[in-house]
Structure 1
C-alpha cells in the first residue's frame, strides 16, 4: 500500500463517515466518531482487497477509489442499521 493509497482511503473514509452522520437519524445512539472510524477502516480494507485483486495501486486509480467508496458506504450502512435506537419510555 502506497502513501497516496492510504491518504486517499483516509480522505474517502472520513468524508463518507462524516457525511453519513447527517443521514443517521438523531434517535440512534451512535457517537459521531463511530461512522467515521468504520468508514476509514472499510476504505483501508478496500485498498488491501484491491491490491490482492491485482488492481494497480502504485498510484490512485479509479477502481481503487470506487472500491473504497463501496466498502465505506457498506460499513456505515451496517453500523447505522444495527445501532441502538435509544427508545424513550
Structure 2
C-alpha cells in the first residue's frame, strides 16, 4: 500500500467512524484512535457487503454502501464503548 492509500484509508476511516458515532444516541467514551480503527474496519466490511449485494459500483454516490458502512461503524463504536465500560466495572 502506498502512502496515498494509507492516508486515504485513515481519513475515510475517521469520517465513517465519526458518522457512526453521530448515529448512536448519547455520549460514547471511545478514543479518536479507536473511532478511526472502527471506521476503517466498518468501511472495509461495508464495501464487502455492498459488493456481495451487488450495489457497490453504481453510477454516482453509492448511498446503500455508505449506509452499510455507517451502520457498521455505529455498531462497532457501541460494542467498543460497552467493552470499555465492562473493563471499568470489573
TM over 0.5: yes
Equivalenced residues, count: 74
Query: Cα RMSD (Å) of the superposition?
Result: 2.9
Task: State the TM-score, normalizing by the size of structure 1.
Answer: 0.62
1:24 counterpart SS class: coil
Residue 24 (structure 1) shift = 1.9
Task: State the TM-score, normalizing by the size of structure 2.
Answer: 0.62
Instruction: Please list every run of 5 or more consecutive structure 1 residues that lacks an aligned counterpart in the other structure.
Output: 1-6
Structure holding more helix per residue: 2
The structure-2 alpha-carbon separation of the partners of 1:54 and 1:42, relative to structure 1 and needing over 3 Å to count, comes to same
Instruction: Please list every run of 5 or more consecutive structure 2 residues that lacks an aligned counterpart in the other structure.
Output: 1-7, 22-26
Deviation above 4 Å: which 4+ runs of structure 1? none
